[in-house]
Homo-oligomer: A and B are copies of this chain.
Amino acid sequence: MPPRERDTARTRRTVLDAAARTVAKQGAGVSLDVIAREAGVSKSGLLHHFRSRDQLLLALAQDQVDTFAAEVRAAVDPADHAAGRLVRAYVKAIFDSLGDDTAISEHLLLSAALSTVPGVAEILQRDARQWEAAFTSDGLHPDRVLIITKAADGASLATLYEGGSNPAALERTRELLLSMTRGEGSFTG
């Protein structure tokens, strides 16, 4: 990447990270001034990358789904060619992020704040359809995929519902879900 493009990408990243922190703390109504200050850039510098708050929030939502998809891709075991390899990577990517209760709480606050922004629902719906399509060719029964992925999502709520995640309980849930991706305990008959 030429130096100027690299700088552009770096500033964009800095602004998105600052926006994630401030929106998680203050909600989607946070001003561009506050985000610019948190990012350590001028407001005109920020506006050079994102034309408006709406555009920044939509880019942030897209960045969140892209980052998670990249984490799942990175968690795919290249030596694993059995059915369920993508679901296994999904479970691993989620549980890898569950050690830090503060980070999860911030992530959920950010997601809840973004969910109220017009246009974000469409980004999430498109992403959900892409996951559904990807899981269709992963070789597991759709009911099994549904239960495993919902249970993995639900595990992140222990921070909010159980007063923090218990490492032993997380490990037990993770192993149980991974065993379900290997077709063990076939619950669909």
- Please list the residues of chain A having a beta carbon within 8 angstroms of any beta carbon in chain B: 25-27, 101, 105, 108-109, 111-116, 120-125, 127-128, 143, 146-147, 149-157, 159-164, 172-173, 176-177, 180, 184-189
Contact = CB atoms under 8 A, between A and B. Distances in A.
A150 B163 contact: no
A147 B122 CA distance: 29
A155 to B, nearest CB: 5
Nearest to A101: B115
A147 B151 contact: yes
8 contacts: A101-B115, A105-B116, A111-B160, A150-B155, A152-B154, A157-B157, A186-B187, A187-B187
Contact of A112 (B105, B123, B125): B105
Contacts of A161: 111, 124, 128, 153
Contacts of A27: 25-26
Contacts of A147: 147, 151, 176-177, 180
A172 B159 CA distance: 27
B116 A112 contact: no
A175 to B, nearest CB: 10
A159 to B, nearest CB: 6
A122 B187 contact: no
Given A105-B115, A154-B151, A146 B124 contact: no
Contacts of A115: 101, 105, 159-160, 163
Nearest to A109: B112
A67 to B, nearest CB: 13
A167 to B, nearest CB: 14
Contact of A122 (B109, B114, B154, B163): B163
CB-CB nearest 3 A-B residue pairs:
A154-B154, A185-B187, A187-B187
